[in-house]
Structures are given as C-alpha cells and as structure tokens.
Structure 1
Amino acid sequence: MKQVRQLFDFYINSSIHVALAVFSMTYVTLLELGLPTDWPLFCFVFFSTITGYNFVKYFGMAKFHHRRLAGRLKIIQVFSLMCFLLMLYFMWQLTPETIIYILVFGVVTFFYAIPFLPKRFFLDQQKNLRNIGGIKVYVIALVWAGVTVLLPVLDKNGVFTWDVWLTAIQRFLLVMLLMLPFEIRDLQYDSLKLATIPQKMGVKNTKIMGVVGGVVFFGIEFLKNQLSQKLILLTLTITLITLLCIVFADKKKSDYYSSFWVESVPIIWLVLHLVF
C-alpha cells in the first residue's frame, strides 16, 4: 500500500496529472472545432507541460539545494529531463509558425519562474512573475488558453474565427475557475503580499465570484456561430462539476482535493466528449 501511495505521489508531484489535464483540454478543442487529430501536437503539449511545471516548481530547489536534494526530487529531475528531450523531438514536427508561437509561451514560463524584476515591483525575495500580487492566476489562465486553444488552431489551419476566440475566452475563464480551489487551499500558506483572490475577497465572495464566472463561461457557448445540443450539454455538465469543486473547496481540504480531483475536471471533460 505504501508503494502505491508513493507511486501516486510521484504521479502528482511530477506533473503527469496536470499534463494529462492540459492534453485533455487540447483534445477537447480539436473535437469542438472539428479539427483533425494531431498526435505530435498532443505529445508536445503533454511533455512540455511536465517540463514547464516542473521547472517552475523545482527551479529554486535545484539551484540552491542541489547537494541536498531528496531522492524523489532527483528522480523527478531526471524524469523532467527526459520529458524535455521528448518535447524537443515533437516540437520539431510542428510548423515553423507554431514553433515561434511556442517560443513566446516558453519565454513567459521562464520569467514566471526566474527572478528578474526590480525590488520595487516585488513582494517577497523571489522577484518573478508568479509572485507579483494578484497576477499569478491570470498568467496561468492565459498560458493554458493559448496552449490548449490557439496553439492547435495555429498548427492545423491558422484560421482564427469568432468561435475560436470565444473558445479561448471560455478556456481562460475555466482555468481561472479551476484555480480558485487552489488559492482557497493555499490561504494558510500564501504571503498576504501575494494578493490572491481569496485574500482580497474572502472565501465566501470568492465562491460567489466563481459561480458568476461559471454562468458567464456557460453563457458564452450560446454566442458561437456553430451551436449543437451535444456541446451545450457537455459545457453545462463541466460547468456544474467545476462549480461543485469551487463550492466545496476549503483551506482544510487535503492537497489531493485540488491537485488530483480539481485537476481531473479537464480529463473528465474529454472522457465525456469521447463517450457521448
């Protein structure tokens, strides 16, 4: 049982689960917009997510404590290096325009983790984008929307229609909503200087804002030119699941509540698409 728990912890801590979530959102985009399946793109998104997330999460540890790294962290580093190499392999199978677009998001990820800002912009000792008050959730939502919606469209046909932009806005909102349980969970750990949404609004108002955001997310579906009963029902279902995750979020909840269950929402979304 202990080995199963360790394996599950590695699955979460090595960002495999979040990579499956990003992969799922990308796949959902292709299904909703009627674009052909693109496995090199899927593989790139999967391995780049692991690389990017682990770089952001473990950069500080690798830089300042490399001689005292725990065995598990060393394994994650080796695993991340393998994923980085696979990411490069699949990236070169994409179009040149797509690669340029990818590099832009790569720069954002780099500055999200690396200290580079002057102290007057900054809050704690680490002067990077992720620690600027109130900006973290928006950066993550922007990157997810860009990677899971705009990237596959650019790689397949480059035609950014009205429906594509609405889908990107929906994805931005959904990721922001899925971030709320994480921010509620981290209330007891985050510095007040981070100015997260629950810190500024309180838990109750954050949940109310989440419900309103969910309604907007679902309502945008009716503004699209290509409407279908299936997509409306699937969007409604994923909206309700997301709102339940927000309503039941609590700072006393187990880390697995957010890191596994909340991040499973995009995976559930893809499964529903494939089943129905």
Structure 2
Amino acid sequence: MTTKRRQTPKGILGFPVAPMDDEGKLDLEGLGKNIEFLVENGLSSVFVACGAGEMHAISNEEYRSMVEVAVEKTKGKVPLYTGVGGNITHALEQAAISEELGAEGYLILPPYLIDPSQDGLYNYLSTIIQSTDLNAIVYQRDNCILELKTLQELCELPQLVGYKDGVGNMENNVEFTQVIGDRLDWINGMPLAEVTMAAYVNLGFTSYSSAISNYIPHISAKYYEALLNGDREVVHAIYKGVIFPIHRIRKQKKGYAVSLIKAGMQIVGLPITTNVRGPIAPVEDGHYKELKLIIENALEKYPAQIKAELV
C-alpha cells in the first residue's frame, strides 16, 4: 500500500460519454475530443466510463480502451476517476484495470439486478473498496441505498473518500453530513445536478457532476460561480433560460440523462454521433430541435470562450 492523497476533486466534475460510430462501435477518437474539451474548459476532473459513459453497455475490453484514452488526455492536468460496478466480478476487474493504468480513484455504481440488504451492500462495496489502494466514492442511487450505520461502517476503510448522492432524500443528506461531517467529500449526483445544487451547497456538498458541461461548460461554471457568490439574479436567469428548459426535455423519456448529452454535444459541433446502446433510446427529432433552440439562445446570451460551431 502506498500513501495517497485521500480526497476527491472539488467543483464541477466532468463525465464524458462513450461515443459510438454509425455501426455502434466505440469511437475512441471522439472520446479523446470529449475529454480534451472538458479539460480545456476548466472542469476539475474527469470521470470516465461511468453512467454517462454507458458503463452498463461496454465490455471490459472496451473499458480498458476508454481508460487508456482518458489517462493519456488527463495526465498531469486533472485527476482521473473511473466508474466500476454492476456485476461484482466485472467491477473488481475494472478496479484492477483502473489501478494498473494509473487512475486516482473510482466511483462505485450500484450492483447489478439484486435489491440487496444493508449487510449485502456493505459486502459489495467494501470488497470493491478494499481491492485496490485507489480512492473510492460510493454512489447512492437505484438499488444502492445506504443507511447511516452502513455508511459509517464503510468510513472505517481509508480508501473511501466520497459520497455521491443521486437520490435526493434531503432528510438523509442532512443527517449524513451532520453525523459524518468532513470524513467524506460530498458530491451532488442528481440528474442535471444544476437543478438541485442550490439546495445541496448549503449542506456542505462541494462538488457536482455536470451533464451540460459536455456541451456548454462555461454556462455551468457561470451558474456555479454565481451560486457560490450569492448572485441570485444570474442564478435565476440561468435557471430560467437554460437549466429548467433542458431539464424539462430530459424528463420526457427515461435514458435521456445519457442520450440528451450526446445530442447537445453534436449540436455544438463536437465530433459525436447521437448513437447509444440499448436499452437507452436516442433523442427524438422533436426534442433534438427543442434542445438546439435552447442551446442557440443560451450561446447568444452567454458566448463561449472556446468556440464550437453549431451544426
């Protein structure tokens, strides 16, 4: 075991997608461009092959290729985390790959299919956490819902550095942050997290994963800066003109938390198709047009410093 920096990245966290070509094969060049765009636009870190990266739909061979690209594009620039989870055998393989290739840590996604008991969840998470010396973040969502006692027991493991919430149970979040305090770093992982960050920041959540940062990262940054500085006028304007309109489209269909990101990236001119792997469905034409109009209006009001031509 080596001595590691036991903390998570702060601020806005970048979650690249898994670009697919017209035949549905992984487009590693597109992934590289996605990561470069995030780094150039000031995202504090990169989390590759997580939910937005369709971890559920890629093989571990593809996973290795994605991590290799991410290591190359982030090295010496920002911390790199990976996603691990699902089938525990696959998760342990992913953790080993992440350690071998030099990631700083990983986000543990929920177990596959099973709705586990608390001791079952502890066994799943602790096995993965202890399998390497990398930093680990647990993800509260779907069939990985932790009670306080379970999270406290996991806090005895030094590799555990963070808790990401994708459920939105604020009673639990208040209790967790008050009881556990700064033992963990707290991350808002709600779908389109800008919608809820105004509530989370007062609980001590210092970071969030931003879907819209894949295509309008400067607006996410402007929103978060205004939120932290108490500039309610700017926060309100971005909520009204950008965040809520995109969120309303995202809620139209399950899976849009992933496929709508790819649509937005294509709209701003990044070399990404809108192809996704099942069971996620691509964005419908009408919703694509709505999103394009929102982005056009947003970029007119808040021009990007790093230009991308609309297509």
Q: TM-score, normalised on structure 2?
A: 0.29
Pick the structure with more helix per residue.
1
Bigger relative contact order, structure 1 or 2, given CA contacts below 8 A and separation 6+? 1
Pick the structure with more strand per residue.
2
